[in-house]
Amino acid sequence: MFVQPMWSDEVERIGFRRCAPFGYTLHGIGGLLGFVGLLLLFATLVYSAYRGVRSTFDASLLWLAVAAFGLGVAGRLLTGFARSLARRKAYRYDYESRVSRWVEDGVERTYTFDDWQAERER
């Protein structure tokens, strides 16, 4: 829930960004929310244990854990929505040939490993 799917290749990441720029931004925000939620969950557990040891634990501290899970869910939803924006353009990535494909304005667009290498050499 907290860790969003990562890119398997730079070609997939850049192809996704070119296919759905807004979706790419949402994917990044979703990943960040999930990470912050995971950090908040760990911090909540440590702080709750500390308060338990000092005998000052209060059940209201558990709302911090709920907030952490809420951030995780929000991150997952944003990532899912970002991927749905790319699916609207029939985005797909071929792992074997390292090619990102999508349809834009009725024309199939591609981003290949060779394109990526050419950009790196510039």
What is the rounded CA–CA span in Å between residue 19 and residue 27?
13
pLDDT at 60: 87
Determine the average pLDDT of the residues in 15-24: 96
Which tens digits make up the pLDDT trace of 34-88? 999 999 999 999 999 999 999 998 888 889 999 999 999 999 999 999 999 999 9
Average pLDDT along the chain: 93
First to last CA, the chain: 38
pLDDT at 5: 77
pLDDT at 97: 93
- Percent of the chain, pLDDT > 90? 84
pLDDT at 61: 87
Please name the residue ranges forming H helices in the chain: 10-19, 21-53, 62-87, 113-121
Closest of 67, 32, 30 to residue 47, by C-alpha: 67
